[in-house]
């Protein structure tokens, strides 16, 4: 199952062979890993497509994966 949501890129962190992108949509935060050659511009607004079958979900209070 796929979905698309509008986000604002708040921060990008180069980590060896990938980039971690910190995004915000409304009051929710999302972190994603992308290839090192991805074009990422902090502060930009983009639509992001997700394959929800590969997503990992965490409880905001306990930080436990469910």
- Tens-digit pLDDT string for the chain (66 aa): 788 999 999 999 999 899 999 999 999 999 999 999 999 899 999 999 988 888 888 888 888 887
56 lies in a domain? no
In a domain, 20, yes or no: yes
Task: Kindly tell me the burial class for residue 8, based on how many C-beta atoms sit within 10 Å of its own C-beta (0-12, 13-18, 19 or more).
Answer: middle
14 vs 60: CA distance, rounded Å:
25
Only one residue has tokens 């930009």, namely 44
- What was the pLDDT predicted at 50? 82
Half-sphere exposure of 60 (CA within 13 A, CB side): 4
Domain that holds residue 20: 1-38
Tokens of 20: 């971690």
Record the pTM.
Answer: 0.73
Any domain includes 44: no
Q: What's the token pair of residue 5?
A: 């949501």
pLDDT at 2: 83
Whether 17 is covered by a domain: the verdict is: yes
The count of structural domains within the chain is 1
As a whole number of angstroms, the distance between CA 48 and CA 57 comes to 17
């Amino acid at each position: 199952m796929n979905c698309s949501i509008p986000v604002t890129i708040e921060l990008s962190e180069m980590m060896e062979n990938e980039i971690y992108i910190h995004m915000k949509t409304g009051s929710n935060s999302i972190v994603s890993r992308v290839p090192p050659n991805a074009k990422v511009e902090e502060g930009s607004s983009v639509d992001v497509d997700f394959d929800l079958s590969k997503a990992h979900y965490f409880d905001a209070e306990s930080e436990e994966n469910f």
